[in-house]
Amino acid sequence: MIAEGVELGADVEVGPHAIIEEGARIGRACQLASYAIVRANSVLGEGVKLDSFAVVGGEPQMAGFDPITRSHVEIGNGTILREGVTVHRSKDEQGVTRVGAHCFLMGQSHIGHDCRVEDHVTLANHALLAGHVSIGTHTFVGGGAAIHQFCRIGEGVMIGGNTSIMSDIPPFTLVARYNRLYGLNLVGLRRRDYSREEIRDLKDCLFRIFQSQAGSPHKLAKMALENGEFGQTAPGRRFLEFIIESKRGYARPANRE
């Protein structure tokens, strides 16, 4: 069922009983399996794959939302949404929920309204993102993990299965259980060919920021950027900048419980 005025790129495949509502734009070589649903004004980049019962552009799950609000979802090139995945549109007029390119959203995972998910992010089965969550590139969210609204997850993070996230998670770290840091995501760093110097610098940043008794993480990160004592590589600077920009606070190291 394809509404009038829908834009379909070349070589698009639409399975039986799939629904594409008015104003949607479907990029070249997209594949929509049977019973996939693309709600009004949603935008799919090239080569996006929607499995059965995936729904893109559904209304935000919030009391008092006015369904006449004009908002939508954008999905980047090459992203895969497996069976039952849901991505909700923004709650704001002309707002956008964005999912980047080459992401992999496994079965029954959910992305809430106004989220910003960058490229190469993986959500395992039943991972849940509340509204306004942001996730950096190359991050993996384990099965059943739940992330509270407005949390920021840095790039290259590994989140363990069934983890509850209530605070910001610094880039390149490994987090599990309930807001607990377990060091750097070394496997992810090596797979992305980060140098030994960059990994050493990140280890130094993590230790100095979260193990020091000299001040708050925000204060220590700001001082480090100013005096160059540590965080001298590009990944190290991104780590420190993330700490400075945090408004929700940070996950705590497990060894400081």
pLDDT in tens, 118-163: 999 999 999 999 999 999 999 999 999 999 999 999 999 999 999 9
Considering the domain delimited by 7-189, tell me its CATH architecture.
Answer: 3 Solenoid (2.160)
**What tens digit of pLDDT does each residue of 157-188 get?**
999 999 999 999 999 999 999 999 999 999 99
- Parallel, antiparallel, or unpaired for β 31-32 and 13-14? parallel
193 is catalytic: no
**What tens digit of pLDDT does each residue of 219-232 get?**
999 999 999 889 99
User: Catalytic: which of 47, 100, 112, 131?
Assistant: 131
Q: 172: closest CA among 80, 100, 251, 257?
A: 251
- 3-state DSSP call for residue 241? helix
Please state the domain extents for the chain. 7-189, 194-256
Instruction: Name the CA dihedral angle for 112, 35, 83, 134, rounded to a multiple of 10 degrees.
Output: -20
pLDDT, mean of residues 22-30 = 98
161 is catalytic: no
114 is catalytic: yes
Report the interhelical angle of 196-211 vs 217-227 (nearest 10°): 140
Alpha carbons 7 and 114: distance in angstroms, whole number: 24
User: Catalytic: which of 47, 57, 114, 204?
Assistant: 114
**What tens digit of pLDDT does each residue of 84-107 get?**
999 999 999 999 999 999 999 999
Q: pTM, whole model, 2 decimals?
A: 0.95
Confidence tier at 213 by pLDDT (50, 70, 90): low
Which of 1.20.1180, 3.10.150, 2.20.200, 1.10.10 is the CATH number of 194-256? Answer: 1.20.1180
User: Catalytic: which of 113, 120, 132, 138?
Assistant: 113
